[in-house]
């Protein structure tokens, strides 16, 4: 006896195969678009400025010039810039992890009168561009006497509406019965948070940490507004001086500085990759 598969079932594997191939092609194109500028920057940083504009362009340098990286340290106080960026970005990441985790837990697990309205107001701040609030924030920083200080960059960024939203979404998926059982056993609200729910939220916290680090390590606009002394410059704004007067600096040296600036972000992502991917996957399935 011969079994005949319905036409809809017979055609489904083929459609799935075509869809998988198209998905792989789209991902490959996206990967090329992302990786190509990085490869070009790395390649140009190892060439002389004259070789950078050869026609046709060459992706691989024929005679690598590692002296461009040495020139970066000679032309600008790169160590100072890296230290400033590390202190500022590290403080912001730690601050946002604390405030976002606690506020996300409160909005998800604690019944607060008017909590939903307050949460919607916090979310609404995500739609306000940074450029519209920079003047009031600058005037407030000036009033507090924090102009041209690292604190001027750290203090306004400690709270995060996005971080609060992200952590709240994860806490909403966690079982409330664990906290209720701990409360019955005499645990305080803070003990329930710190000993039960916070350890369960390591994956989303790693996701938030990586995203926050990448955003503020590469931040340019606020340091440009708040800082005047070169000794306080962060890495992105400090590397601008490599361009020289009217952009007459060596493009190879500039891109060498850019490559150096990318290294910490790559290291942080690799170090937190397992938790980052786990947090993204968990959030997408839940």
Average of per-residue pLDDT across 239-265: 82
Cα 109 to Cα 118: distance, rounded to the nearest angstrom: 15
- Residue 274 pLDDT > 80, yes or no? no
With a pLDDT cut of 70, the percent of the chain lying above it is 88
Evaluate whether the domain defined by 67-285 bears CATH number 1.10.3720.10: yes
Q: Residue 102's pLDDT band (boundaries 50, 70, 90)?
A: very high
With a pLDDT cut of 90, the percent of the chain lying above it is 29
- 22 φψ region: left (φ > 0), alpha (ψ -120 to 50), beta (else): alpha
Q: Among 43-52, 205-214, 259-268, 276-285, where is mean pLDDT lowest?
A: 276-285
Is this structure's pTM higher than 0.75?
yes
How confident is the model over 186-227, as pLDDT tens digits? 888 888 888 888 888 888 888 899 899 989 999 999 999 999
How confident is the model over 125-158, as pLDDT tens digits? 888 888 888 999 999 999 998 888 999 999 999 9
Average of per-residue pLDDT across 85-93: 95
Question: Structure tokens of 165?
Answer: 């939203």
Q: Looking at residue 280, what is its pLDDT?
A: 59
Q: Looking at residue 286, what is its pLDDT?
A: 47
Annotate 190-238 with DSSP letters as a single string. Answer: HHHIIIIIHHHTHHHHHHHHHHHHHHHHT--HHHHHH---GGG--HHHH
Q: Looking at residue 193, what is its pLDDT?
A: 87
How confident is the model over 48-86, as pLDDT tens digits? 877 777 767 677 777 788 888 988 898 889 889 999 999
Q: Among 14-23, 36-45, 214-223, 277-286, where is mean pLDDT lowest?
A: 277-286
User: Considering the chain, what is the average pLDDT of its residues?
Assistant: 84
Q: Residue 181's pLDDT band (boundaries 50, 70, 90)?
A: confident
- Residue 231 pLDDT > 70, yes or no? yes
Average of per-residue pLDDT across 105-112: 87
Average of per-residue pLDDT across 96-108: 92
Q: Residue 234's pLDDT band (boundaries 50, 70, 90)?
A: very high
Q: Is 75 exposed, middle or buried (0-12, 13-18, 19+ CB in 10 A)?
A: middle
Q: Looking at residue 281, what is its pLDDT?
A: 60
Q: Is 204 exposed, middle or buried (0-12, 13-18, 19+ CB in 10 A)?
A: buried
Q: Residue 7's pLDDT band (boundaries 50, 70, 90)?
A: low
- Residue 285 pLDDT > 50, yes or no? no
Q: Residue 1's pLDDT band (boundaries 50, 70, 90)?
A: very low
Average of per-residue pLDDT across 171-181: 84
Q: Whole-angstrom distance between the N-terminal and C-terminal Cα of the chain?
A: 45
Give CA 174 to chain center in angstroms: 25
Domain boundary assignment for the chain: 67-285
Annotate 89-151 with DSSP letters as a single string. Answer: HHHHHHHHHHHHHHHHHHHHHS--TTHHHHHHHHHHGGGS-HHHHHHHHHHHHHHTT-TTSTH
């Amino acid at each position: 006896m011969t079994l005949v598969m319905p036409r809809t079932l017979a055609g489904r594997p083929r459609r799935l195969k075509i869809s998988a191939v198209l998905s792989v092609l789209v991902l490959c194109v996206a990967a090329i678009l992302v990786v190509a500028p990085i490869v070009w920057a790395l390649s140009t940083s190892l060439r002389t400025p004259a070789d950078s504009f050869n026609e046709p362009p060459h992706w691989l340098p024929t005679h690598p010039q590692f002296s461009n990286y040495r020139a970066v340290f000679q032309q600008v106080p790169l160590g100072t810039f890296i230290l400033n960026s590390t202190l500022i970005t590290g403080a912001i990441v730690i601050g946002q992890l604390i405030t976002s985790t606690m506020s996300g837990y409160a909005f998800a697990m604690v019944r607060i009168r008017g909590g939903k309205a307050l949460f919607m107001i916090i979310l609404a701040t995500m739609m306000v561009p940074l450029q519209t609030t920079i003047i009031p924030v600058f005037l407030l920083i000036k009033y507090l006497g924090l102009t041209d200080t690292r604190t001027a960059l750290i203090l306004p960024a400690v709270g995060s509406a996005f971080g609060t939203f992200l952590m709240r979404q994860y806490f909403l998926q966690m079982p409330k019965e664990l906290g209720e059982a701990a409360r019955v056993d005499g645990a305080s609200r803070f003990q329930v948070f710190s000993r039960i729910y916070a350890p369960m939220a390591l994956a989303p916290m790693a996701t938030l940490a990586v995203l926050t680090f990448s955003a503020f390590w590469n931040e340019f606009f606020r340091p440009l507004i708040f800082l005047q002394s070169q000794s306080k410059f962060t890495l992105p704004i400090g590397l601008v001086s490599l361009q020289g007067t009217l952009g007459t600096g060596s493009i190879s040296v500039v891109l060498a500085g850019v490559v150096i600036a990318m290294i910490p972000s790559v290291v942080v992502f690799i170090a937190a990759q397992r938790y980052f991917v786990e947090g993204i996957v968990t959030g997408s399935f839940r």
